[in-house]
Amino acid sequence: MPAPLSVIIPTFNALPRLGQSVAALAEGLDTGLIAELIISDGGSVDAIETVADELGAAFLRGAKGRGQQLGAGAAMARAEWLLFLHADTVLQPGWAGAVAAHIARGPNRAACFRLRFDAPGLMARLVAGGANLRSRALGLPYGDQALLISRKLYTEIGGYKPIPLMEDVAIARALRGRLTMLPATALTAADKYQRQGWLRRAARNLWLLARYLCGAKPENLAAAYAPSENCKR
């Protein structure tokens, strides 16, 4: 039976974090879960193409924008299941078993991971806890929690929109109750929260989300987001 999973990682000058993210995928290779790794780059000026070649990953380069990059990676993928993973997110031990169990249940539901930050302290736990609660209650995880989805379901809902911001929220809304949280954890970088302040960053994220849900155009939100372009949602 062919390995069922294509892993798609969008990158933009992401080499400092990419190594840990890719290393954690070994668990899926060892269990025969991963068919291929696709690096979808948005115009990096680092050595990402060389590194992708060393990793044996498929590589494509296009316009910067996570929605466009994820969509391009999905178009290249060959497996029946897709795992979209941020370059600064590291799947924690046990993830492969949780993913395999979800795949075995059939193609009609997508899944995300529990979120945890790579930082100690109460604020890191509170912000992650809020994100996990929102994911369970509203079905609105952010991209930091990764997305596991069958090709069938991805095609049915129209895939990622080529929008400059909120592509993760848009696809979660398109799933409309067909999204579950896996009993596995995604550890994501906290450096932007730490630089800006946990409360300030979290409040800004919620404000952008509220504006988007009320109908604001992603292009306008991206312009507001631009001063802290590399800040994590």
The residue whose two tokens read 């809902």 is 157
The verdict on residue 200 lying in a domain is: no
The verdict on residue 20 lying in a domain is: yes
If phi > 0 it is left, if psi is from -120 to 50 it is alpha, else beta; for residue 83 that is: beta
The verdict on residue 129 lying in a domain is: yes
The verdict on residue 51 lying in a domain is: yes
Q: Which of the pair, 64 or 226, is modelled with greater confidence? A: 64
The verdict on residue 213 lying in a domain is: no
The residue whose two tokens read 């995604």 is 186
Q: Is the pLDDT of residue 232 over 50?
A: no
The verdict on residue 127 lying in a domain is: yes
Taking residues 48-62, what's their average pLDDT? Answer: 97
Q: What is the pLDDT of residues 184-210, one digit of tens each?
A: 999 999 998 999 999 999 999 889 999
**Residue 93 domain boundaries:** 5-191
Q: Is the pLDDT of residue 231 over 80?
A: no
Beta strands of the chain (E only): which ranges? 5-11, 34-41, 58-61, 81-84, 89-91, 110-117, 147-150, 179-188
Number of domains composing the chain:
1
Per-residue confidence (pLDDT) for residue 226, from 0 to 100? 62
Query: What's the rounded Cα separation, in Å, for the pair 42 and 105?
Result: 34
Per-residue confidence (pLDDT) for residue 9, from 0 to 100? 98
The residue whose two tokens read 């970088």 is 189
The CATH number assigned to the domain holding 87 equals 3.90.550.10
The verdict on residue 216 lying in a domain is: no
